[in-house]
A and B are shown apart, each in its own frame.
Chain A
Amino acid sequence: MELQLESKREGNELTIKLNGEINTGTAPQLKELLETELTDAEVLTLDFENCDFVSSAGLRILLATYKTLKARKAQMKLINIGPNFSEVLNITGLDAVFGIKVNHK
């Protein structure tokens, strides 16, 4: 499955809605979008309502982005996380890093 990204900038906030899957093939699209659009945003919101598959290629980008933002005291929010992505975050301990409460069975 492919990935489609919709980004919206409002003031210092950048919101990206992900539609599809972040896998080894599609992860570079997210990386490129963040490289061009993140610029000086103070809040980045990633909306996973239509994306419940994230492989480690995606996790790497999320972690790198988190570190970039944290270093300049900006914030990264992940919203509407589905059960499969939440399991991946839980196993890797990234739920705690990103400050997400995951109810994982």
Chain B
Amino acid sequence: MKTIHVDSTTDNLSSVMGFINSELDELGCPERIRAQIKLAIDELFANICYYAYDSAPGPVTIAFESEPNPPAVIISLIDKGKPYNPLEADEPDVELSGEDRPIGGLGIFLVQNTMDDLNYEYKENQNVLTLKKYLLE
């Protein structure tokens, strides 16, 4: 397992993406799946930056693992902020017209619709959100 440790500010998104991209390069990840994984990381990391810690930014760890057969990646985002399970957020109504659409709430919905498995745990005073994505088109 490989990890990167950063503070929860959106300025660190590019370092996180650099880490994820280089790991996906090594695995020869197909482009469409890479875009889906990058999107998921963007959404989940942004959520931590905006909501996990109240006053100052706090620590975030991103852990990357892969499985060979069938090829898959397992990525965990870990923070020590207040307990929050993003998977319990209300689903947006994607049938609503533009005028009635609330602005927001789409990030987690996109993650739920593109990843193969998502799991949330609060353990040892940490939020641990883990995603799994198969690298097969």
A interface residues with partner B (beta carbon < 8 Å): 1, 23-25, 52-53, 55-57, 59-60, 63-64, 66-67, 70, 83-84, 87-88, 91-93, 97-98
CB-CB under 8 A from B11, the residues of chain A are 25
- Cross-interface CB contact of A24 among B46, B92, B96, B109, cutoff 8 Å: B46
Tell me the total A-B contact number using a CB cutoff of 8 A: 76
CB pair A24–B45 under 8 Å, yes or no, is: yes
Residue of B nearest to A88 (CB): B110
Q: How far is the CA of A95 from the CA of B43 in the complex (A)?
A: 20
CB pair A59–B106 under 8 Å, yes or no, is: yes
Q: List 10 A-B contacts (CB under 8 A).
A: A24-B13, A25-B13, A25-B14, A60-B104, A64-B103, A91-B114, A92-B94, A93-B94, A93-B96, A97-B98
CB pair B97–A97 under 8 Å, yes or no, is: yes
CB pair A84–B32 under 8 Å, yes or no, is: yes
SS class, residues of chain B in contact with chain A:
helix
CB pair B101–A63 under 8 Å, yes or no, is: yes
Q: How far is the CA of A77 from the CA of B48 in the complex (A)?
A: 32
Q: How far is the CA of A63 from the CA of B106 in the complex (A)?
A: 11
- Cross-interface CB contact of B99 among A56, A67, A92, cutoff 8 Å: A67
- In the assembled complex, the CB of A65 is this many whole angstroms from the nearest CB of chain B, namely 10
Q: How far is the CA of A20 from the CA of B111 in the complex (A)?
A: 21
CB pair B107–A55 under 8 Å, yes or no, is: yes
Residue of B nearest to A99 (CB): B98
Q: How far is the CA of A93 from the CA of B95 in the complex (A)?
A: 6
CB pair A63–B13 under 8 Å, yes or no, is: no
- In the assembled complex, the CB of B105 is this many whole angstroms from the nearest CB of chain A, namely 8
